């Protein structure tokens, strides 16, 4: 991540996923983590946002 990029994470991927999509479109925005306590919701968000398990958490 460069100095011009701003990393962000989403807690609660059901409603937060729409925010993640919007922030991802912002110049300099970079999605660095997803978190949800429901594994199925998290897996759907991972696929939608092209994230790996390394970037995703179920415990916050």
Instruction: Note the pLDDT tens digit of each residue in 31-54.
Output: 999 999 999 999 999 999 989 999
Q: How confident is the model at residue 2 (pLDDT cuts 50, 70, 90)?
A: low
Domain coordinates in residue numbering, the chain: 6-57
- The pLDDT of residue 52: 93
Encode pLDDT of 8-35 as tens digits: 999 999 888 888 888 878 888 889 999 9
Q: Is 50 exposed, middle or buried (0-12, 13-18, 19+ CB in 10 A)?
A: exposed
Which is nearest to 5 in space by CA: 33, 38, 37, 28?
28
- The pLDDT of residue 4: 81
């Amino acid at each position: 991540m460069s100095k011009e990029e701003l990393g962000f994470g989403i807690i609660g991927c059901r409603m937060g996923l729409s925010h993640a999509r919007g922030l991802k479109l912002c110049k300099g925005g970079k999605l660095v983590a997803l978190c949800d306590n429901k594994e199925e919701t998290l897996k759907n968000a991972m696929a939608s946002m092209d994230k790996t398990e390394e970037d995703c958490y179920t415990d916050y």
